[in-house]
Structure 1
Amino acid sequence: MTPSAAGIDLIKQFEGCAKKQPDGSFAAYPDPGSGGDPWTIGWGSTGPDIKPGVVWNQQQCDDRLASDVDSFATKVAAAIGSAATSQHQFDAMVSFAYNVGVGNLSSSTLLKLHKQGDFAGAQAQFARWNKAAGKVLPGLTKRRAAEAALYGS
């Protein structure tokens, strides 16, 4: 499966293309939950190449989003395996993994329940993932509600 426009729009909605500078470029910034690592730029991109002082233009942000979403989609599809999955369920899980990591999705009760066909149970699991550094973040609570809504639609 590949992410649909709805899935990509959901990621964009919550990641935002943040820290736009007056000249139109985008600066790397620390993780809002930890105040440090992982450093982030553009549409929520992280990695060893993202650190303080990194600046990208809009095209670099958009190109990295496309590359990152493709990579996450491949890994999410592998984690799901042959389990029955709708487009909306897939999109919601890609958005979830984009934010919390594929490893967390892979070991989650959310994925376990999804693979067992307990879609209502899986949908309810999104809400459990609303903390960063042990603190509930309102933005994560909203994101998980939107992911759960997409998953269940």
Structure 2
Amino acid sequence: MATQPETGQPKKGGVVVLVAALLALIGPATTQLVLTEIPMEESGRKVAVTVSPQAGTATITNISGKQYLRVYLDMIGVATACDGLTGEGIMVGREFTEGQCAQMLVDRLTADGARVMACTPGLALSIPRRDHVRYAALSLGHHVGWPTYCASTMRRQINAGQIRAACTSLTWFNKAGGRVVPGIVARRKREQAICLKDAT
């Protein structure tokens, strides 16, 4: 696994990001969950998140853990930065500020969230008790890509109202580079535990 560069120590205060579009898509509770949990899952860092629906903003404060502001190669050689961001604009040699990383994460989650919500009417904000499964679906869609999520058994089960089964199907996505990765297995189990809060 490549060595991941980090910035210094955890900072006091936090960065303010615009989340109005994300709030409109997935609601305040799910926004709080994704902005808190995805940094932990992607970078192993703990953050405190305060969402202000009225202002359409969130304040994200790094409590502990590494902040990957410089692009690095992940375990399968993919250029990665911030909290697991890959793809467009992420190239070895680039560096980002903490604020840029936070806003890019929100922007990616908004784009992924739009696709996940569009293919999963069973996650609609009008349906009660969907915040936790909505988080799990978006976390999966963000991690494996929305096309993979939208073709998944998990998505079909959510739409059928089979939430417990959907939370189990989530755990099937446990590979990177064609092999089962213990860290991904553990991540899926943590996401499943959150997902199941909507299955009772």
TM-score range, shorter chain: 0.7 to 0.9
Match of 2:140 in 1: 96
Structure 2 unpaired stretches of 5+: 1-24, 46-64
CA contact (8 A) 2:116 2:146 kept: yes
CA contact (8 A) 1:73 1:94 kept: yes
More deviation, 47-56/77-86: 77-86
Match of 2:117 in 1: 77
Kindly indicate whether residue 93 of structure 2 is the aligned counterpart of residue 53 of structure 1: yes
How many residues are paired up?
146
Query: Over aligned residue pairs, what C-alpha RMSD do you find?
Result: 2.0
Amino acid aligned to 1:107 = A
Q: Give the distance between the partners of 2:104 and 2:34, measured in 1 at CA.
A: 16
Amino acid aligned to 1:13 = M
Deviations 1:29-70 (A, max 9, x none): 1232x1x23x11101111221111111111111111111111
SS in 1 for 2:72: coil
Indicate the structure whose relative CO is greater, using CA pairs within 8 Å and at least 6 residues apart: 1
Q: Normalization by structure 2: what TM-score?
A: 0.67
Amino acid aligned to 1:145 = K
Q: Normalization by structure 1: what TM-score?
A: 0.86
Decide which structure has greater helix share. Answer: 1
Q: Tell me how far 1:4 sits from its aligned partner.
A: 2.6
Off by >3 Å, runs of 4+ in structure 1: 17-20, 82-85
Match of 2:178 in 1: 134
Decide which structure has greater strand share. Answer: 2
Match of 1:27 in 2: 70
